[in-house]
Amino acid sequence: MKRVEDDIAYTLISQQEIYDKVHEVGRKISEDFEGKEPVFVGVLKGCFMFMADLIRCVNISSEIEFMAVSSYSGTNSTGAVRINKDLKGDINGRHIILIEDILDSGVTLNYLKNYLMVREPASVSIVTLLDKPARRKAPIYADYFCFDVPDEFVVGYGLDYNEKYRNLPYIGVLKPEIYS
C-alpha cells in the first residue's frame, strides 16, 4: 500500500513550526483587530486546516465565511479566476480578513481583493500560511503570513496536488516525478 509520505522529497516546515507560527499570527491579528469584529473569509479548499487552527488562536469577536474559487490546472495558474461560491452576507463597512493557504502568483488573491473592494468593506487584509514571492505575477502582498517558501512545489496542511496530500500535518516538497 502506497503512503502519501512516499511522494514527499523532504519536509520543508514541521508540524511544530506551523503550530508555533500560527499562534503568533493569531495573537497579532487579535491585537490589530481588537474591537473591530472582522469577518474571516476562507478561500476553499486549501485554507481549511490553516483557517481552523488560526481561528482558534484569535480571541476577538468575529464571523466566518467561505468563498470557493478556481484558477489552477495541475501545477499552473490558468490566469482566469472563477468564483464557485460567493459570500452570502453584506460586507459593507466590515473588516474582511481573507485567509488563503499560499500566496503564489498572486493572481487569485489580487482578483478576490478587488472583487470584494467593490462591496465597500472597511478594509480587506490578507493572511496566508505561505508566501512564495519568487512566482509573483500580480502586485499583491500578504498583510500577515507565516512562512516564506522557495520556488518548490509544496503540499500538506491543506495544500494539494490534484486533490491529494492535504492531510499531511506538515509542509513537504513534492517529488518532481509525481507532477512532471
What amino acid positions are annotated as catalytic residues? 104
∠ CA 23-28-33, nearest 5°, is 125
The residue ranges of DSSP E strands in 74-143, in sequence order, are 76-85, 95-103, 123-131
Q: Tell me the chain's radius of gyration from C-alpha atoms.
A: 16
CA 138/CA 136 separation, integer angstroms:
6
Q: Sign of torsion, CA 142 144 146 147?
A: positive
Residue 105 vs residues 72, 111, 158: alpha-carbon distances, Å: 11, 11, 18
Residue 70 vs residues 6, 9, 81, 139, 147: alpha-carbon distances, Å: 28, 27, 6, 19, 23
Continuous segment of H or E residues that includes residue 36: none
